[in-house]
Amino acid sequence: MTAPPPPFFVVGGTLAQDAPSYVRREADSELFRLLRSGEYCHILTPRQMGKSSLMVRTAADLRAAGSVAILLDLTALGVNVSPEQWYRGQVRRMGRQLGLEEEVESHWRTTTERGLGAYQRWEAVLTEILLPHCNGPVVVFIDEIDIVRSLPFSADEYFAGIRQLYNARTGNPALKRLTFCLLGVVTPFELIQDPRHTPFNVGRQIELRDFSEAEVTVSLARGLITARRGVRAVTQLLRRVLYWTGGQPYLTQRFCEQIASDSDALHPRDVDRWCRLTFFGRADRIAADDHLLFVRERLLRGGADLAAVLIAYQEMLRRSRSFWRRGRGLDDAKEENPTTASLRLSGIARLGSDGMLLPRNRIYRTVFDEKWAASQMPEAEGRRLKRAYRLGIIRALIGSGTVTAAVGGLATVALLANARARSAEAETRRQLYVADMNLAQRALEENNITRALQLLERHRRAPAEASRFEWRYLWEQCHQAAVSLPTQSGGVSVVRFGAGASELLAMDAATLAIRSFSLNGSAGQERMPGIPLSGKALSKGTLSPDATHAARCFGDQCEISEVSSATTIGRFAIRKDSVYALALSSDNRWLAVGDIFGGITIWDVRREKVQHTLVREGALPTAVSFSPDGQRLVLGASDSTVRAWDCGSGREIWHKEIGRGNIRALGFSPDGRVLIAGVRDGTVYLLDAASGETVRTMKGHTASILAVAVSRAGDTVATSSKDKTIRVWNRNTGIAGRVFRVENPATTLAISADGKWLVAGGKAGDISLWRLGDSESIEAPSALSHPLSSVRLSPPDGRFCSAIDNTGRLSVWEVSSRRVVFTTKFDAPPILTSTYSPDGRRIAGSADSNAVVYDASNGQILSSFAIKGNFIRAMALSVNGELFATFDGNNGTIQVWRTDTGEMISDCHVSKQKSVSVLAFAANGESLIAGSADGSAIYVIHPRNGHFQTIRGGHTGVISEIVFSTDGRHMATVGHDAFVQLWLLQNNLPVKPRMLSGHTAEIYAATFFPDGKSLLTGGADRAIRVWDVATFQEVLALPKHQSVYSLQFEHNHYRLYSTDREGTTRFWGSTTDPPKK
């Protein structure tokens, strides 16, 4: 069978040298020409601008022209390395690319014996090995140079040496054949402190500009042309793509891929639609999109004064161009001014033809708008702006008071000013609350729990605010841990559960003392005393998987002890202060020690002798783990490799390179078949332990993985990360069911034998426990075997859930117990649609021309009647269940019936052209509201006489639900156009609609919080959004799960229920009150 052709468009990553969607720019010919002539070059540009793809393509062109091209990616070398390892890693990769590995290794050893430093040996390999063995020009591309800022040593010598190789050309003509090209997302002043030694002022800067219309037409149009899309249509589509992206390479390729995958994308409006759904109108749109996240993080954490950067950015947005003008050559403001550099290297701004800074494209301009910039202002600057805002209110009140006094007298002035002041104060308070909730959520997303609590504390003493759903939800998220154990002053090296499920052991990272704790949070007792360490002596310790034995390395020795008796059973000599990774086998037979020199020693604990010494030169052993049977040792290293050895023979079984960067955490499944590896980029790999092949990857963390734990059942994997989260994954599906936030990154994890508890500890010394048995969701009863639709939670408390399966049977079940209350019979007419009464006591179902009202608690039929000639498309029950409204899809009539007799008491024909998609009785029962299927109209009907009034709607698609606040003051409509419309109710009429945008797909569900101050909505974009009714602003976005089909609050509590299409109900919030203060 012939393999399918590779896709034309590639989004993200480095394009292959023969990729058909590669767009040649002016920089391609310029870079090739300059490198070919021996000029040093550098490309310092934002991420996802195509610099690495340009490097690969230029390298291929240079090779075709007779040059030797060497490609180095500095991130592959790691950052937890010594200068020796870092420089050696570079020359080994150079030698490997040129087939000179043996020569490079031999020369490195020779120069080491001569006493040369690491950089001197690096230079010697270049000048004494590589150049003599290569004919013609040699070009060395060094990519990701910004990684040097994370090295534990200064890289000034490195860049100064590259400059010196250029200057030495005069005395050594052979060096004219050696040329460097440096690439990265950084400015020269961020890399090297002394500009006299920088290579950037002897090289040529290559400007990597956005795609032009001519460039994309030549390179990308052919990937979009189909039988339905001709050249003219494709040209129009590409112009619209550039209208939004401005030619930014990643975004342009991403849009084109979307068009190519959608055969119905024929018009520019299709580009607009996709742009809106993907990038606009979402509170979490930045966090949910990796590219936007890149831009945000580089802008906010670029190293420059954040307040200055944001003020400059706001000024640029207001003027649509910056007030900085371009200086002269490469030494102008864009290079020397950190504020300008931060704006440019984030990618959010670009230089115009006149040297002015401009917003890079319309997407960035819309997403990162003035409101966003203001919300990111550092706290001190934010307080100054708030004070100015309040002062403006006061001045406005004083000014308005003066005018009023001149007209109506001083008494009137005082009353009006007082009323306005109170109104302004209340409005300011509301705005401050919304802003603080948004900031608190963002702080939680960044796992800054302390900051989130500070923001929440501002509103804790105001009962009207601290009783709201969003405040209580955020408060609960800040207090996820069930138990917090006493802090260990020296940090926590390792945690393990003891033989009893109620005991926990922790080792102090500084003294290696071991303490035991009970799960109720008591202080516990010392099980093994600490080891007196002098000065800066290094120590490393670990516990065996069953916590019965401890290995403690300090100074030049490592001892093995029984924890129960605190007696030493073995002692081994090691190189002083050299231990980096440590592990004990499950049977306590083997001890593995990885040292900072790259060596791994396997000790036989019983015989107190070395079993094997394994050498891994050029890489630091960052993690070691034994298989459950103790027969294999697995090593993770700083060069992204994982290796497995047989403990008995010392034979290497396999080795694999995974991810990018250090392998920081390893763990086995209980059966030993699966190896879990955590990588520096935040990815968790599940590997076949026998072969090392990747079985699955689990992504969700945004920073390096620090620890891994696996349940005894093997189905649950817990991982911790530098992003200050702990994720609990289902190993079989790769889905993270729960996410716990921590104030400090957890460096050690353990799961109890019964799988009910998770414990975490870290360098800060805190130990936290979480209950894993507390489910956040309940699936539909297994007895419901057919696919479900029309899933609804019962009002007003969500106690029951109903659904119609694909056979037309209506089922109602109790959510908490999954007990099926009733299911309509097989021989009954198939149910097409259903609805609950507002009090949840009745549920009605329609079957073509038949309507049946059931008692929701037991399925008893309360009434049943035929509606002649009707095809019921929508229906509703009144609050007390006395009235039943239907919409006839055949003749467009809305009819109201008595449920006890089946008598029709009113009917009205609202429109000949428009269909009705939803009906709802107002809370007071005095009006019936209907929403049109095209979203353009709202009908307000008097249920007893059929009189109605048409109100213009604001939706452009099906209105899917209408809900009312319990105080009767507001109504909300949601629709398939992804918009929410919030109405004020006056005299039973909806007035003053406000459109709320944030969702990116159809909205199916809505509900008001019991106090009427918050509105919650959910739908196909899998997000639940919380809106502040008073300010019309989004105040909270709950984490995504499946599509949301129904929302309901638990009665008299603050717990939210949401249900997806499969009938799985998820819980949000807690029923317990926060502690009083």
- Residue 33's φ and ψ, nearest 5 degrees, are -65, -45
Bridge partners of residue 354, in order along the sequence: none
Topology (CATH level 3) of domain 483-774: Methylamine Dehydrogenase; Chain H (2.130.10)
Distance of CA 539 to the CA centre of its chain: 36
Q: Which two tokens stand for residue 494?
A: 């390792």
pTM of the model: 0.55
- Superfamily name with CATH number, domain 26-205: P-loop containing nucleotide triphosphate hydrolases (3.40.50.300)
Q: Phi/psi zone of residue 424: left (φ > 0), alpha (ψ -120 to 50 degrees), beta? A: alpha
pLDDT at position 332 is: 35
Residue with the two structure tokens 């989260």: 725
pLDDT at position 389 is: 44
pLDDT at position 322 is: 35
User: Where does the pLDDT of residue 675 fall: very low under 50, low under 70, confident under 90, or very high at 90 and above?
Assistant: very high
User: Where does the pLDDT of residue 473 fall: very low under 50, low under 70, confident under 90, or very high at 90 and above?
Assistant: confident
pLDDT at position 805 is: 83
**Top-confidence residue, 247 or 342:** 247
Q: Which two tokens stand for residue 739?
A: 């996410």
Look up residue 149 and give its DSSP letter. G
Instruction: Report domain 832-953's class.
Output: mainly beta
What is the average pLDDT score of the chain? Answer: 82
What sign does the CA torsion over 711, 716, 720, 726 have?
negative
Which whole number is the average pLDDT over 230-237? 86
Residue 64: count other Cβ atoms within 10 Å of its Cβ.
9
What kind and span of H or E run contains 566? none
User: Where does the pLDDT of residue 618 fall: very low under 50, low under 70, confident under 90, or very high at 90 and above?
Assistant: low
pLDDT at 791 over 60: yes
pLDDT at position 67 is: 92
Residue 613: count other Cβ atoms within 10 Å of its Cβ.
12
Q: Which two tokens stand for residue 84?
A: 């020796």
Write b or e for each residue in 760-769: b if 16 or more Cβ atoms lie within 10 A of its Cβ, otherwise e.
bbbbebbbbb
For the segment 256-266, what is each residue's pLDDT rounded down to a tens digit?
988 888 888 88
Contact 590, 647 (CB under 8 A): yes
pLDDT at position 328 is: 30
pLDDT at position 1008 is: 92
pLDDT at position 953 is: 82
Contact 875, 846 (CB under 8 A): yes
Which whole number is the average pLDDT over 227-238? 85
pLDDT at 995 over 80: yes
Which whole number is the average pLDDT over 490-511? 82
Which whole number is the average pLDDT over 874-887? 87
pLDDT at position 62 is: 93
Best CA proximity match to 540, nearest among 479, 490, 487: 490
pLDDT at position 401 is: 43
Q: Which residues contact 256 (CB under 8 A, 6 or more apart)?
A: 9, 21, 220, 223, 224, 238, 241
Which whole number is the average pLDDT over 149-171? 85
Residue 947: count other Cβ atoms within 10 Å of its Cβ.
11
CA distance 156 to 171: 23
78-92, 234-248, 308-322, 903-917: least confidently modelled range: 308-322
CA distance 594 to 586: 18
pLDDT at 520 over 80: no
pLDDT at 582 over 80: yes
Best CA proximity match to 1035, nearest among 389, 432, 368, 434: 434
Length of the chain: 1077
pLDDT > 90: what percent of the chain?
20
Pairing of strands 579-584, 567-573: unpaired
CA distance 653 to 692: 9
pLDDT at position 335 is: 42
Which whole number is the average pLDDT over 63-82? 90
pLDDT at position 1072 is: 59
Between the ranges 126-130, 282-286, 818-822, where is the mean pLDDT highest? 126-130
Q: Is 131 exposed, middle or buried (0-12, 13-18, 19+ CB in 10 A)?
A: middle
Contacts of 353-359 spanning 24+ positions with Cβ under 8 A:
354/326, 355/325, 355/326, 356/321, 356/322, 356/324, 356/325, 356/326, 357/316, 357/321, 357/322, 357/324, 358/316, 358/320, 358/321, 358/322, 359/316, 359/317, 359/320
pLDDT at position 673 is: 93
Contact 807, 830 (CB under 8 A): yes
User: Where does the pLDDT of residue 406 fall: very low under 50, low under 70, confident under 90, or very high at 90 and above?
Assistant: very low
pLDDT at position 125 is: 92
Alpha carbon separation from 728 to 504, 710, 734, 746, 777 (Å, rounded): 20, 10, 10, 13, 14
**Top-confidence residue, 1070 or 1027:** 1027
CA angle 1016, 461, 459 (to 5 degrees): 45
pLDDT at 289 over 50: yes
Which whole number is the average pLDDT over 1038-1042? 75
**Top-confidence residue, 445 or 974:** 974
Q: Which two tokens stand for residue 953?
A: 């709607």
What is the three-class DSSP state of 105? helix
**Top-confidence residue, 72 or 487:** 72
pLDDT at 783 over 70: yes
Which whole number is the average pLDDT over 338-355? 78
pLDDT at position 304 is: 64
Best CA proximity match to 180, nearest among 55, 13, 300, 315: 55
327-331, 680-684, 695-699: least confidently modelled range: 327-331
pLDDT at 364 over 50: yes
For the segment 653-673, what is each residue's pLDDT rounded down to a tens digit?
999 999 877 898 999 999 999
CA distance 944 to 308: 64
pLDDT at position 404 is: 40
Q: Is 1077 exposed, middle or buried (0-12, 13-18, 19+ CB in 10 A)?
A: exposed
Bridge partners of residue 528, in order along the sequence: 514
Q: Which two tokens stand for residue 616?
A: 């891994």
Best CA proximity match to 724, nearest among 666, 682, 678: 682
CA distance 916 to 937: 9
CA distance 943 to 878: 10
DSSP string, 60-94: HHHHHTT-EEEEEEGGGG-SS--HHHHHHHHHHHH
Contact 664, 679 (CB under 8 A): yes
Q: Which residues contact 548 (CB under 8 A, 6 or more apart)?
A: 499, 562, 563, 564, 588
Which whole number is the average pLDDT over 2-19? 74
First to last CA, the chain: 71
pLDDT > 70: what percent of the chain?
86
What kind and span of H or E run contains 165? helix 156-167
**Top-confidence residue, 485 or 149:** 149
Can the peptide bond before residue 796 be classed as cis, meaning omega within 30 degrees of 0? Answer: yes
